[in-house]
Amino acid sequence: MTFLVSATHTPTTQASAKVAVSFSDKAKGYVALTKPRVVELLLVTTLPTMFYAQGFSGQGGVPGLWLMVATMVGGALAAGAAGAFNCYIDRDIDKVMNRTSKRPLVTGVITPREALIFSWILTVVAVAMLWSVNPLTGMLGIGAIFVYVVVYSLILKRRTSQNIVWGGAAGCFPVLIAWAAVTNSVQWPAIILFMVIFLWTPPHYWPLSMRYSDDYNAVNVPMLGAVAGSRTVAVQVVLYTWAMVACSLLMIPLGGAGIVYTVAALGAGAWFLYEAHTLYSNSKKDLVTKKNAMKVFHVSISYLTLLFLSLAVDPFVGSALMR
């Protein structure tokens, strides 16, 4: 089965042509619209938070299977909807940027109209699924989509170098959604975890924007890593990383975290800080390379994964040992 769509053959060409698209390519295009790698990273924070919330609430054990499935699937669909809306909004600059030149709206695999309809369908299904858990979870799902699509993609991204700081708050919502799904409330541990991810986002993304600075400059998107000098960016990465690690340790006195989480927060935090300071040291000597920047980016992903895996394990091991 094939589809005929009007598409652009290359990122820099404005001429339209009819392109035959197979059913398989069409399906892959829709999946690509959801930015699966981003969805995966968001889900890494969701399930561990649910496990921890279950223990914190005194219920013990693990959340019910349907609760986990509804929250994870609903959260993934919400993140996918936000990603699809973003691809629709940014389709003009995606044509110019090498990093995004293979996205389905650029290649013509998916038309803008199809992308917009798909985004709204995902939004409705996601909110319905999260609302079936409880209304608070549903409203938080709406909030996550709104922040990413409206606050970040439409308002901040092309206007300020602080775009990812405030727009990145959308990536913090999964922990609130997870906590609300289990407890039907938002408590201090959820707020601390929200702030950890909020503070993590700039030192995670700014090194990536250093790597792709030419792309961002070509489309006049003022990502800090693209418009500021390497020393300025490195200083900000160090400051945010210190704030993030300090915030993560608040889970110990205020969130009841035990030994497993404590060790992971200290160990992984020290690793992230070391790489952040290495980036700063290189910036003072004008030795920052794209490879240096991407190392910090990859370490940031490992840090978040380790921190939240420890959060999932901690209620079963850590808290018991601390008592």
Write the pLDDT tens digit of every residue in 206-249: 999 988 988 999 999 999 988 988 899 999 999 999 999 999 99
User: pTM of the entire structure?
Assistant: 0.90
Digit-coded pLDDT (tens) for 105-120: 999 999 999 999 999 9
**Residue 318 predicted with pLDDT over 80:** no
CATH code, domain with 74: 1.10.357.140
Comparing 13-22, 30-39, 195-204, which segment has the lowest mean pLDDT? 13-22
Same domain? For 242 and 312 the reply is yes
Contacts of 227 (CB under 8 A, 6+ apart): 161, 216, 217
- pLDDT at position 288 is 79
Digit-coded pLDDT (tens) for 266-278: 999 999 999 999 9
From residue 234, alpha-carbon distances to 45, 100, 105, 241 in Å are: 26, 25, 34, 10
Domain count, the chain: 2
Select from 185, 218, 243 the last residue of a domain.
185
Digit-coded pLDDT (tens) for 145-154: 999 999 999 9
- pLDDT at position 167 is 85
Contacts of 265 (CB under 8 A, 6+ apart): 245, 248, 249, 251, 252, 257, 307, 310
Q: Is 7 a member of any domain?
A: no
- pLDDT at position 219 is 93
Same domain? For 202 and 143 the reply is no
Q: Is 300 a member of any domain?
A: yes
Quote the mean pLDDT of the chain.
90
Digit-coded pLDDT (tens) for 152-186: 999 999 999 999 998 889 999 999 999 999 999 99
Instruction: Give the span between the Cα atoms of 164 and 148, in whole angstroms.
Output: 10
Q: Is 250 a member of any domain?
A: yes
Instruction: Give the span between the Cα atoms of 30 and 32, in whole angstroms.
Output: 5
Select from 163, 185, 207 the last residue of a domain.
185
CATH code, domain with 291: 1.20.120
Helix axes 23-33 and 112-133, enclosed angle (nearest 10):
60
The confidence band for 15, taking pLDDT boundaries of 50, 70 and 90, is: very low
Select from 158, 185, 212 the last residue of a domain.
185
Contacts of 319 (CB under 8 A, 6+ apart): 55, 256, 257, 258
Q: Is 231 a member of any domain?
A: yes
Same domain? For 219 and 287 the reply is yes
Same domain? For 98 and 218 the reply is no
Same domain? For 84 and 175 the reply is yes
Q: Side chain identity at 257, as an amino acid letter? A: A
Same domain? For 217 and 97 the reply is no
Q: Which of 268, 283, 269, 219 is nearest to 241 (CA)?
A: 269
Same domain? For 312 and 277 the reply is yes
- pLDDT at position 287 is 81
115, 87 contact by CB (below 8 A): yes
Same domain? For 172 and 201 the reply is no
If phi > 0 it is left, if psi is from -120 to 50 it is alpha, else beta; for residue 229 that is: beta
Digit-coded pLDDT (tens) for 63-102: 999 999 999 999 999 999 999 999 999 999 999 999 899 9
Q: Is 9 a member of any domain?
A: no
Same domain? For 206 and 293 the reply is yes
Instruction: Give the side-chain half-sphere CA count within 13 A for 266.
Output: 8
Q: Which domain holds residue 292?
A: 187-318
Instruction: Give the span between the Cα atoms of 269 and 18, in whole angstroms.
Output: 52
